[in-house]
Structure 1
Amino acid sequence: MPRLVDLPGYRRFWVASTVSIFGAHVTTVALQIFVVVALHATAFELGLMNAARWLPYLLFGLVAGVLVDRCRRKPILVGTDFGRAALVCVIPLLYVAELLTMPALIAYVMVFGLLSLLFDAANQSFLPRLVPRKLLIPANARLEQSDSVAQTAGPLLAGALIQVVGAPVAMLVDAASYLVSGVLLASISVTERAQPASRRDLRAEVREGLSWIYRHRTLAPMAVTSHAWFLFHSMLGTVFVAYALDARELDLGAFWLGAAYACGGVGAFLGGALAGWAGRRFDAGPTVIAAHALMAPAWALMPLAVPGLAVFVMVALSQFLFWVAMGVTGPNELGYRQSVTPDGLQGRMNTTIRSLNRAAVVVGAPLGGFLAVATGYRTALWIGVAGFVLVALAMAVSPFRHARYADAVDPGPEPDFTVGV
């Protein structure tokens, strides 16, 4: 069995993903600041812009999955990377020409979201073509670790760039990152065959993907509990920031809140390092369930925190433990999904689960805000914690507890992944 470092295709894929995610975190911060400062956007307009980012996932997610399963994935990845690089450059140009308005920016974000949808669908489905199935957990774990580092360092880099060159120019860093990612992905040598031209009805292929997921003995409970998890997590995430900064509650302050997030990034990196060992030692189902069981007590530290000297310690510990669990469960969930799904259904499986997860976020985020206003921050947080408990229990009593990596579908003879590029 080769090591990940021996796989030239994966090495380039990992570098491309790392560069791209750093650039994305820079733009996420820069765009928010730019909209508020330069365009004087209201909170409602900012909310519309953020919602526009995920709208394509809700509208076109299932169709995107069919497209990815019909086509070779590498050209989709390269094309959407180059497309996003060009698109990010449009914002500074429109701003300099004094043609940038909020409606135009919302439309831009929707187009960007559509390209990101296609990229994400192909990205998760491309990885099994680059590494043997037995290395999917560590391969996903390395990607998760890159993301955790970017979550911590990306906003800091964005802040420095905005301070020095301004938000519009800082976004060009993201354009460069997509360009570098596209070039690296284009240089990967991989064997892919497009599916023969299909005469099947599009709806039939969508139904086939849905049937594969929601009639599968272990994928179905995994997917349903994932949707519920995103609902409760988006509730908690919405309430947490306001609760931590409210002067009448924790009064943590922006700096210490950022420091707590940084502790979460450290936890995610550590969890990613443990993911492969845990998956091999305990297998897929027990590992994922145990990680989910840790999330509820980690979040319970939030409503138990009281203002004072120890408040930062509790918030930071909460974030650290939660992201350790996330670092363990993410690669194992994704690795298991990829290993038990035939190649011809990878795109539909990934985009269906991802799109419905995003739909849960659209519901959960405003629901969390409503509960915080109606019942108070701490009650809203306890409701979210109770939701996490229910998710962990549902997984533990479902057939998913028997999920094993030995369930993997037979991919047939695997190519030599160590061939140079």
Structure 2
Amino acid sequence: MSLLSGRGGLLRRHDFRHLWAADLASQLGTRLSFVAMPLLAVLTLDASTFQVALLRTAETAAALLLGLVAGAWVDRLRCRPVLIAADLARLVLLGSVPVAAVLGVLGLAQLYVVAFLAGCATVFFDTAHTTYLPRLVGRDHLVEGNSRLAANTSVAAVAGTATAGYLVQALTAPFAVALDAVSYLWSALWLRTIRTVEPAPVRVARRHLGYEIAAGVRFVWREPILRAIAANTGTVLFCQAANDAIMVVFLVRRIHLAPGTIGLLGTVGLVGALASASLAGRIAARIGTARTLLLAGIVNGAGFLLYPLTGGGPRLGWYVAAGFLAAFSIVTRHVMAVTARQQLCPAHLLGRVSATMELMTWGVMPLGALVGGLAGTYLGLRPTLVVTGVLIAAASLWLVCSPLRTLRDLPAGGSGG
């Protein structure tokens, strides 16, 4: 269904509107911490390049350790209670950072612990969120629903990135992290107001958790489109994590930018994400969902190849162009990839398939961040950005060599019927 199907589309529905509002609050807060946490480490705790990279590793390590288990548990449970519990856990964890800062006891060790445990909550939240959407809106509305939620990510990227930079510069990084903690409370309150009674998952004969996890892994491996998407996204996110792990250090210590300028640059570049969220449905309707996914993968590589050209003065324009192209293609690819997962997978396996895809994609990010920190330290910051850009461009071959190249639209049902 097009994003423009009916005035207001899914936002006219009370329950989706409240899910959308909860997601927007959470995304805004998360974007604040995404910028504020490394700035806190660099500017307040004088962290090295490798120590900042370890912070990114801690944030994403939970996907590697807990992803498959989270998927199996989500398939056994109603999703909304999982979402609320994850929000409240992140409220407490992120809230401990400004408290420790006020008491004068904040250190890198606490940042690592908070980042890891909040990442654990995020794994359960993200898996339940992907599984919950088809239960709430039905499979006929998945492109619109995913696009609306992707728009939240884009708005948060545009507004949150700039806000974080200015908040850190004017009011310190711990204050920005405190706002992130409050955003999770706001998200939980919105989720509590959803009226639809979520049906209990279909109960089957209780099997060993390992057997249930293996069923999700087998489904992804046997479905060629999902396998190609997982390989492409995993390669991209590994390199993107390496890129992200050193980007703040690169902008502060090589380009000599202030936090407010970093936030402004992020805002200008990430306008591309907002544009993508608005246009993804239209693009897919015109050229097809499969072709849109394939094109997004190619454009993404082009965007990341521009980051190493960033310099002072007019050369900051390369960062803006890179951010626009990369963000536009990342959001577009995400909408189509999640829609493919939800369409191809049977309902009773969706949590496990989502967790498997998350493991094969987000699970590589801690390793990517670690490699990025090491490469940035020993190879150099700009050369590392060159290498990650080349590898992200090459990752589109996973999609080009898959059945997607012969399709206009993503199939519904797939081998999982």
TM > 0.5: yes
Decide which of 387, 396, 399 is 1:392's aligned counterpart. Answer: 396
1:211–1:404 CA distance, 2 compared to 1 (3 A): farther
- Please give the residue correspondences for 1:242-391 in structure 2 after superposition, counting only pairs within 5 Å: 247=254, 251=255, 253-254=257-258, 256-303=261-308, 305=309, 310-371=314-375, 379-391=383-395
Tell me the CA shift for residue 363 of structure 1.
2.7
Tell me the CA shift for residue 348 of structure 1.
1.2
SS in 1 for 2:207: coil
Contact 2:97–2:106 under 8 Å retained in 1: yes
SS in 2 for 1:271: helix
Contact 1:61–1:355 under 8 Å retained in 2: yes
SS in 2 for 1:407: coil
Q: Which deviates more, 206-215 or 79-88?
A: 79-88
- 2:230 aligned with 1:226: no
1:405–1:338 CA distance, 2 compared to 1 (3 A): farther
Corresponding residue number in structure 2 for 1:418 = none
Q: Which deviates more, 351-360 or 113-122?
A: 351-360
Tell me the CA shift for residue 372 of structure 1.
5.2
Corresponding residue number in structure 2 for 1:208 = 215
Distance in 2 between the 1:37 and 1:394 partners?
A: 39
Corresponding residue number in structure 1 for 2:115 = 109
Tell me the CA shift for residue 179 of structure 1.
1.5
Corresponding residue number in structure 2 for 1:419 = none
1:187–1:308 CA distance, 2 compared to 1 (3 A): closer
Give the root-mean-square deviation of aligned CA atoms: 3.0
Task: Render the CA deviation track for 1:210-267: whole Å, top value 9, x for unaligned.
Answer: 00111113111111121112123234444655555565xxx37345544332222111
Asked which structure has the greater CA Rg, the reply is: 1
The residue type paired with residue 317 of structure 1 is A
Corresponding residue number in structure 2 for 1:67 = 73
Distance in 1 between the 2:319 and 2:409 partners?
A: 35
1:20–1:100 CA distance, 2 compared to 1 (3 A): same
Contact 2:70–2:355 under 8 Å retained in 1: yes
In the alignment, structure 1 segments of 5+ residues that lack a partner are 411-421
Tell me the CA shift for residue 15 of structure 1.
0.6
Corresponding residue number in structure 2 for 1:155 = 161
SS in 2 for 1:349: helix
Tell me the CA shift for residue 140 of structure 1.
1.4
Tell me the CA shift for residue 34 of structure 1.
4.5
1:227–1:403 CA distance, 2 compared to 1 (3 A): farther
What TM-score does the superposition give when structure 1 sets the normalisation length?
0.85
Distance in 1 between the 2:380 and 2:177 partners?
A: 37
Contact 2:53–2:372 under 8 Å retained in 1: no
Count of matched residue pairs = 406
Q: Which deviates more, 17-26 or 364-373?
A: 364-373
1:101–1:331 CA distance, 2 compared to 1 (3 A): same
In the alignment, structure 2 segments of 5+ residues that lack a partner are none
Contact 1:289–1:395 under 8 Å retained in 2: yes
Corresponding residue number in structure 2 for 1:413 = none
Distance in 1 between the 2:359 and 2:302 partners?
A: 28
Contact 1:64–1:351 under 8 Å retained in 2: yes
- 2:412 aligned with 1:408: yes
Distance in 1 between the 2:169 and 2:388 partners?
A: 36
Task: Render the CA deviation track for 1:186-230: whole Å, top value 9, x for unaligned.
Answer: 211233213426520111111101001111131111111211121
Task: Render the CA deviation track for 1:67-97: whole Å, top value 9, x for unaligned.
Answer: 0011110111112212322333334444555
1:48–1:318 CA distance, 2 compared to 1 (3 A): closer
1:102–1:278 CA distance, 2 compared to 1 (3 A): same
Q: Which deviates more, 282-291 or 149-158?
A: 149-158
Distance in 1 between the 2:359 and 2:95 partners?
A: 27
Q: Which deviates more, 344-353 or 89-98?
A: 89-98
1:286–1:53 CA distance, 2 compared to 1 (3 A): same
1:408–1:388 CA distance, 2 compared to 1 (3 A): same
Q: Which deviates more, 289-298 or 263-272?
A: 289-298
Q: Which deviates more, 161-170 or 78-87?
A: 161-170
What TM-score does the superposition give when structure 2 sets the normalisation length?
0.86
- 2:191 aligned with 1:185: yes
Contact 2:94–2:114 under 8 Å retained in 1: no
Contact 2:37–2:173 under 8 Å retained in 1: yes
Tell me the CA shift for residue 135 of structure 1.
2.2
Contact 1:338–1:346 under 8 Å retained in 2: yes
1:239–1:205 CA distance, 2 compared to 1 (3 A): same
- 2:11 aligned with 1:5: yes
Tell me the CA shift for residue 273 of structure 1.
1.2
Distance in 1 between the 2:223 and 2:410 partners?
A: 15
Contact 1:71–1:195 under 8 Å retained in 2: no
Distance in 1 between the 2:184 and 2:253 partners?
A: 37
SS in 1 for 2:194: coil
Distance in 1 between the 2:133 and 2:274 partners?
A: 20
- 2:89 aligned with 1:83: yes
The residue type paired with residue 221 of structure 2 is Y
Contact 2:162–2:266 under 8 Å retained in 1: no
Contact 1:140–1:334 under 8 Å retained in 2: yes
Contact 2:49–2:249 under 8 Å retained in 1: no
Distance in 2 between the 1:27 and 1:389 partners?
A: 28
The residue type paired with residue 264 of structure 1 is G
